Each structure stands twice: as C-alpha cells, then as structure tokens.
Structure 1
Amino acid sequence: MSWQPTTTHQARLARATLLKTLRAFFDDRQVLEVDTPLLSSATVTDVHLDAFHTLFDHSATGKPQALWLQTSPEYAMKRLLCADSGPIYQICKAFRHEGQGRYHNPEFTMLEWYRPGFDHQDLMAEVDALLVATLACEPADKVSYQHVFLDYTGIDPLGTSLTELIDALARFNIDISAPETLDEDSILQLLFSQEIEPKIGLDRPVMVYGFPASQAALAKINACDPRTADRFEVYFKGIELANGFYELSDATEQRKRFIADNAQRKSMGLPEKPVDEHLLQALESGLPDCAGVALGIDRLLMLKTGASSISEVISFPVATA
C-alpha cells in the first residue's frame, strides 16, 4: 500500500486554478457562493442512486439517528432559494455509494448552481459559457434526446415499445441477463450509455435536452410536449459532465415522485429511503421559478488536463484514502 498521492503537483495546481476560474465566473455574474450540510436526515429516493449513511448517537431525540452523506447539495440549496437567497452556487464534496471507476470516485467534488428567472434553455447557455471559459473549447451543440436517439439507433424513445427495446439490445449486441425484467427507461438508459454516449460530443461539448417525462427526476414536464421533461445533460469527449433541470416547484407533485420512487425501490428489492420533509415544506412555501445544474468538477478537471482517469486529478481516491 502506497501513501503517495495519485496526482502530480501540476494536477494540483490545475485544480487550484480551475477553482479560481469558477469562482471568478460566478462572481462576475453576481451569483452568491453558499455552504450547506453534507450530513442530512433524509436523502434521494432515486432508484439509480445510493447514499452512504451513518448513525448519530447524540441526537436531541435521545435515540440513534440515521444521517446520510449527500449525493448532491440540491435539497438544501432549494431550501435557501425558498428563503429568497437569489442566484446561488456551491462547490462541495458529494458522495455516492458506487464502485470506483475511470470517471467515478465515491467521494467527489461537485459544482451546483441555481438561477431564479432562468429556464433550462437559459441555463444551457450559461453552462456553455462556463465550459468555454474553463476549457477554451468551442461552443456546444444542442440536440434533443429524441433526435439523437433516432440518429444513432433508429428508435423513437418517445414512441417505442418494450418489445422493440428488448430486440434492440440484441441488435446492438448488448448482452445482459434477463432483459425482460427491465423496464423501458432502464433499457433506454442502457442503449444511451452504450450506443450514443461514446459517439457524441467528441469535438465539442453536446447538450442533450428533452428527456422522456418518465426520466424527469426533479424537472418540470415540458409545457408543449408532455412526453418530455425540461432536463438536459452535457457530454464531452466521452464524459457525462453535467445534469440540469428547469426545476419542479410543485410540492404535491414532488411528494408523489418521492413516493413513486420508493414504491419502485420496494418492487426491486431495494431499501426505501426517507423522504426529505424539510424540502417539501420549503417547496410548499414557494420555490422561485428557476433552473439548476450539477457539474462534476473532477471530470471537468480531467478534460482540462487530458487525464485518462479520475485518480489522476484526485490526490487520494477511495482505494488509498
């Protein structure tokens, strides 16, 4: 076991420079830097995310309390927005209970920001400006989820069937066991990651918007096409870099989505997760019309330095932490 960092001194200097650039970018736009807790009494219900948790033995209740390391500062930042914070951003650690890989470490650094008065199209333009400022790249291409799916697979993701999707797995030689046990969204995500993601954004970033409404997460449903959600993702040189939303502000609808997530978790044999009542109370008080986005700083730094693995830009990844 080596005690040495996996980064070079040059990589550490590049990180410091990148953080200065990011803070200057938001300072110029009068977006306030904020700080929120990493530990929370609730966590995400999303079936595709898993959070670390621990027991707090000194709770005011007198009983051990489960606390969760946050997968994103989103819920706490939305509480600030509901308290009239105005435009805000945060650079912080986030945690996801997943294996270490080329692009992922269970502990990573995230940039997240929210813009009252913006929709997802406005925010895509600002993300584009940030990428040009930090990477000196060309402006991004923008394409709808439906269009890019048709281009690379010949499948209309907004009008397909489960049978067609299962057949597509065989057609593209994606060999998984028991594909019939997967739902349409799971197969769409598998096809996207295997057949589309590696082929887009190779020369300049690409922003994919208009995801299926069933993959809305915390985004609004599009007013013109209710089959889609006002959500976008950013890809560049094979890396999924950012995920943004025109934010859902309806507390009742948000509770329904949390409940539906936990029902799906139960059907899949996964543990249900505690719903964040603080967030729901904040939404009931009123979330300003806004858009928000989360961007992986370590992945951004990989692109900036030409690193081939996230361990080259994190001094002590989980294997040597």
Structure 2
Amino acid sequence: MTANHWHPSATGAALRQRAALLAKIRHFFSQRQVLEVEVPVLSHRATSDPHIESIPAEYCGNTSYLTTSPEFGLKRLLAAGIGDCYYLGKAFRQGECGRRHNPEFTLLEWYRCGWDDRRLMLEVAELLGLVLGISQVQSLSYRALFLRELQLDPHSASDKELTACVGRTIALSFTPGDRAECLDLLMSHYLEPAMGEGITLLYDFPAHQAALAKVVADEQGTPVARRFEAYVGGVELANGYWELTDSAEQLQRFQADLQYRRSHSRPTPPFDERLLLALQAGMPECAGVALGVDRLMMLAGGYGSIEEVIAFPIARA
C-alpha cells in the first residue's frame, strides 16, 4: 500500500459529475411516476445464477450474503402491489474486478407493470439518450446481428458450425466446450466490437439464455428468451426481461441452476423460496431491467476506468 491510498481515486470533478448523474436519473423516474424504493443488500439467500457469485457475510453466527441484485426484493414488492418502482444503490458480486468491474458497484434496476421487453427497451434508450446525448439508436434481434456480421443463424446452426465459426474469427488457445460458450465468445470478442457507435438494443436471445425471462416463439417459430441488452459503442450497459411470473417454471429454473453448479463443482446455495411465494401470490405481468451506473458514468464523462468514477474502489476501501 502506498502513502496516497487514503485519497479517493476519483477527482472532485468526477464525483460532482456522478452526483449530477444520480440526480438526473431520479428526476427521469420522478417525471414518470416511478417510485424509488429500498430493499435489503444483506440476504439469507445467495444467487443461484451459475455465472454470478455472491459475497458471503457472517450475521449472528449464520452465513448471509451481500445481494448481487435487488431483483428478488423488488419482485416481492411488485407482488405486494407497490406498482412501478426502481432501486438505485449498491450491489455486490464476487470476483468482479477490472477496468469496468468492482465487487461493490452501483446498480439501477426498475420494473414497469403491464409492459413487455419491447416497450421497456425503448424507455432504456430514452434514458441513455438523455444522459449521454445520443440520438442514434439501432434495434435488432440476436439472430439478425449474427446474420449481419457472421452470416450464421445462432438458433439453427449446428455445434460444429458454431465451433468452426469461433475458430476462424477468434484467436483462442483452447476449444470451446459447448454451443453456449461458442455464442458467448462470438458475442464478446467479435460482435460487441462490431456494433459501432450509438445505442444498440439487442433482443430475442437464445432460449438457454433466458435466466428469469419468458420464453416465447418468435415470428419464425423459434423459442427465444424475451430479454434484451442495451449497448453503447459495444459496451454493455443494461440487461432487461419480460419477466417470468410462473412460480412452477421459476422453481424448475432454480433447480436447473443448482444442477449446473453441482456438475461444475460450484457452490450450491439454497434458492430464494420467498420469491416463489411472491410469484404464487401473483406478481403482475411486467418488464424489468438492470443498468450499471458506474459504466454509464464512465461513458458520460469519457473515463477509461471504473476507478475514475468511484471514490473508493476495492483497492482503497
């Protein structure tokens, strides 16, 4: 540790910009009568998502977890009848460090009752356009992006075709394990950089990437996950769903997550039964989205590292 580590890593100007950004976000939702709410950041349950790890914390001799997202708390409020709402605050994820990652980060997450993913992604574009001063927006399906850039249909291509596509487009020192890994590699290493400037709204993901989104047949009869991601200049900022409301289907997905974790020798924390109870009670049809505020701040201020927009990142916490 060097002597200057007591100093914040962000400048005073950056912190004032950050405060203005948070105020702008709150004004955006106030104008639209979306209620700001708080939910716990310390929970008795960890995430079951196979690709995200919770940070454990001891509480009265029991293991609790810092929440990776306010999602389950917000959905319980929706089931209780709170209506359109949003959370703007801290979330925590294990092992997330880097130029665009910090284990403690600021997340904006909001839900719109009676909306689907298509309608919500337009509101996301409104917010991003307002904050970043961008008017250029392109909306296209996951399939359309693959066809445009790789002349490959990600839904119907065989495993062999996907592996061959990875081999000719990305320099790797290993062979991808399955089609899911192939698609992830093609997206992160090839397609995201090809998105160009402006806001890109990508929708109708492969069904196996549904997470907590509904799965519905598209116009070609292919089952797709009704979720979307929002990018600016190839940087992912937001991930949204037409939310799953079926408690039985939610239970099956929790169980599938835990089975994946077991098969890959990962921790298998108990899933959140309170969410299942909320869904059984009747969560309204809705769409929800989570947006990384620190990354948004980086783009808004032209910063190259997350440490430049956080007063005390993990190295100085």
Same fold (TM over 0.5): yes
Q: Are 2:55 and 1:52 equivalent residues in the alignment?
A: yes
Which structure is higher in strand share?
2
In structure 2, the partner of 1:60 is: none
In structure 2, the partner of 1:212 is: 206
2:255 aligned residue (237, 254, 259) = 259
8 Å CA contact retained: 1:128, 1:139: no
Q: Are 2:287 and 1:291 equivalent residues in the alignment?
A: yes
Residue identity opposite 2:192 in structure 1: E
8 Å CA contact retained: 1:42, 1:68: yes
Aligned 1:74-223 pairs, distance under 5 A? 74-179=71-176, 182-200=177-195, 202-223=196-217
8 Å CA contact retained: 2:170, 2:189: no
8 Å CA contact retained: 1:102, 1:308: yes
Given the superposition, is the C-alpha separation of residues 292 and 20 from structure 1 closer, same or farther in structure 2, using an over 3 Å criterion? same
Superposition deviation, residue 237 in structure 1: 1.9
> For the aligned residues, what is the CA RMSD?
1.2
Residue identity opposite 1:48 in structure 2: H
SS of equivalent residue, structure 1 residue 292: strand
In structure 1, the partner of 2:234 is: 238
**In 1, Cα distance between the equivalents of 2:53 and 2:202?**
25
* Runs of 5+ consecutive residues of structure 2 not aligned to the other structure: none
In structure 2, the partner of 1:282 is: 278
8 Å CA contact retained: 1:233, 1:242: yes
SS of equivalent residue, structure 1 residue 229: strand
* Runs of 5+ consecutive residues of structure 1 not aligned to the other structure: 58-63
What TM-score does the superposition give when structure 1 sets the normalisation length?
0.94
In structure 2, the partner of 1:300 is: 296
Report Cα offsets for 1:159-185 as digits up to 9, x if no partner.
122222222222113314343xx2211
What TM-score does the superposition give when structure 2 sets the normalisation length?
0.95
Residue identity opposite 2:51 in structure 1: H
8 Å CA contact retained: 2:68, 2:93: yes
Superposition deviation, residue 157 in structure 1: 0.7
Identical residues among aligned pairs (%): 46
**In 2, Cα distance between the equivalents of 1:286 and 1:147?**
35
Provide the aligned length of Structure 1 versus Structure 2: 312
Given the superposition, is the C-alpha separation of residues 157 and 21 from structure 1 closer, same or farther in structure 2, using an over 3 Å criterion? same
Q: Are 2:315 and 1:316 equivalent residues in the alignment?
A: no
Superposition deviation, residue 129 in structure 1: 1.0
In structure 2, the partner of 1:4 is: 7
Superposition deviation, residue 42 in structure 1: 1.1
1:39 aligned residue (28, 42, 61) = 42
8 Å CA contact retained: 2:209, 2:225: yes
**In 2, Cα distance between the equivalents of 1:203 and 1:197?**
11
